[in-house]
Structure 1
Amino acid sequence: MAFLRPLGDTGLTISALGLGTVKIGRDQGVKYPDAFTIPDDQAVRELLALARELDINLIDTAPAYGRSEERLGQLLTGRQDWVIVSKVGEEFENGKSRFDFTPEHTIASVERSLRRLNTDYLDCVLIHSDGNDLEVLRQGTLEALAELKRKGLIRAIGVSTKTVEGGLETLRRADVAMVTYNLAHDQERPVIDYAAEHGKGILIKKAFASGHLQAGHADPVQASLDRILGTAGVGAVIAGTVNPKHLRENVEKARRAVGDL
């Protein structure tokens, strides 16, 4: 295994660890155990530069992450060096989430993300499911993304799912599923196994249970990365941090998990 690896058959090559960016855009309604401060522009520039120095090329954002997309559009350099994942379906306004999965909103959301991120294409766009995965998939959202993909605005499409049924249906109809998988949660493993068998892409969210990993391991982060990145079908773990020390440590542990140290 290597730190840089394919995301299914999408043609995208991604780092085994991706940088989640909710913490650069939003500090309300997030489920982290420790308080944090949204970093200033210079701190974000330094974090992004460090990520590239450490061979991270995968970055995860979303309209629901407050000002994350907008800030990345201003502060991210070397667009061609990054694989950018964004989302549609969830909006975060006045401290609350709301969902809109209509095709019209989907198209408008992608167009807005392109403007905010200062780019003419997105590498991957996922539907930000509200948990009712199969109902979401009946609303024409995926078809709208597929049309944008045909136009060259998106390279890969999929869903950030919350159910096994939703994950499997996503992979039957699209390129990528983002699923939860960690030491305490392996219920969505059938989705990963399906992806491995069919050349589909898998991104992992909540690998560290949003900072709530159970004890019982000398190093629960290493144990979680070992399990996740050792599972056939997994493309990358998305880990959100604004702490440079944590980023370095996470990359070192991810490299160790894939035998790249």
Structure 2
Amino acid sequence: MHALHTLHNLHRPLGATELLVSPLGLGTVKLGRDQGVKYPSGFRIPDDTAARELLALAQDLGINLIDTAPAYGNSEERLGPLLRGQRDHWVIVSKAGEEFDAGQSRFDFSPAHTRFSVERSLKRLQTDYIDLVLVHSDGNDMAILQDSGIYQTLAELKREGKIRAFGLSGKTVEGGLLALEQGDCAMVTYNLGEQGELPVLDYAETHGKGILIKKALASGHACLEPGVDPVRASFELIFAHPAVTSAIVGTINPQHLEQNVATAAAVIQDIA
């Protein structure tokens, strides 16, 4: 594939961690779960062959970041065998705090559950370390970070070498700021329609912390002129901010993935 249309030469450090990641990451909720997901159209969970092809394509396109979570149904269990023999090629992000059973989410941020959850993710992913574990917030970011003990437990797991970095996938500015002050990375919502968490990006920029963007392509189409490509406009907004390390895209459509990568590569090269 032509280098201009891939992300191979565009990897960047995730804050002050030693992780080098592609500017787009592959989100894998659709590999593991089709209930309780907010997508406009239904989809079929890809079988192993389709999932293996998608991962191979992502790698060809220069994507090395893969985002999963215990709450993504059996995503982690599927990724373990699918990534066998390729561990060094991937930066794996998982979460702790949210469980998804029988169509319902439930949350547990206690130290004991956090340790159990990370150990279980290691087994499911068939690896002895996870690059980044994020607190999968229910929205009460400050209470979780200050009262539950989850951050202290993640710091211990980092010292033990079981995880390389930790942070918060949260929903509030205050939570994002505290998460960065005491951790390595925040995953924030930032898109054409929603920019309320911008102060978290600004803090990350001045303090050398990592930022991952979720819901990067959430439909802010309403605010666009006719004829404007929403994917390009989204990436122009996101990558214009120097704090943004990577945006997670959750497509299982190979063509969409190729288009997303080509667009992101073009936007990043234009900004540079």
The TM-score by the shorter chain falls in which range?
over 0.9
Given the alignment, which residue of 44, 67, 74 partners 1:37? 44
- For the residues of structure 2 that align with 1:221 and 1:32, how far apart are their CA atoms? 16
Aligned to 1:74: 81
Aligned to 1:145: 154
- For the residues of structure 2 that align with 1:257 and 1:234, how far apart are their CA atoms? 13
Could you give the per-residue CA deviations for residues 141-176 of structure 1, whole angstroms, max 9, x where no partner exists?
Answer: 000000000000000000101000000000110000
* SS of residue paired to 1:65: coil
Could you give the per-residue CA deviations for residues 160-201 of structure 1, whole angstroms, max 9, x where no partner exists?
Answer: 010000000001100000000001111100000000000000
Aligned to 1:50: 57
TM-score normalised to structure 1 length: 0.97
Aligned to 1:220: 230
- For the residues of structure 1 that align with 2:38 and 2:10, how far apart are their CA atoms? 28
Aligned to 1:256: 266
Aligned to 2:256: 246
Could you give the per-residue CA deviations for residues 51-77 of structure 1, whole angstroms, max 9, x where no partner exists?
Answer: 000000000000000000000001114
- For the residues of structure 2 that align with 1:105 and 1:158, how far apart are their CA atoms? 17
1:237 correspondence with 2:251: no
Aligned to 2:178: 169
Structure 2 residue ranges without an equivalent (≥5):
1-6
- AA aligned to 2:233 is A
Aligned to 2:212: 203
Q: Aligned residues, how many?
A: 259
Tell me how far 1:3 sits from its aligned partner. Answer: 2.2
- For the residues of structure 2 that align with 1:20 and 1:136, how far apart are their CA atoms? 24
* SS of residue paired to 1:98: strand
Given the alignment, which residue of 113, 116, 121 partners 1:113? 121
* SS of residue paired to 1:66: coil
RMSD: 1.3
- For the residues of structure 2 that align with 1:155 and 1:66, how far apart are their CA atoms? 24
- For the residues of structure 1 that align with 2:220 and 2:101, how far apart are their CA atoms? 29
Could you give the per-residue CA deviations for residues 224-245 of structure 1, whole angstroms, max 9, x where no partner exists?
Answer: 1011011110100000011000
1:20 correspondence with 2:30: no
1:181 correspondence with 2:190: yes
* SS of residue paired to 2:221: coil
Structure 1 residue ranges without an equivalent (≥5):
none
- For the residues of structure 1 that align with 2:220 and 2:56, how far apart are their CA atoms? 28
- For the residues of structure 2 that align with 1:74 and 1:92, how far apart are their CA atoms? 21
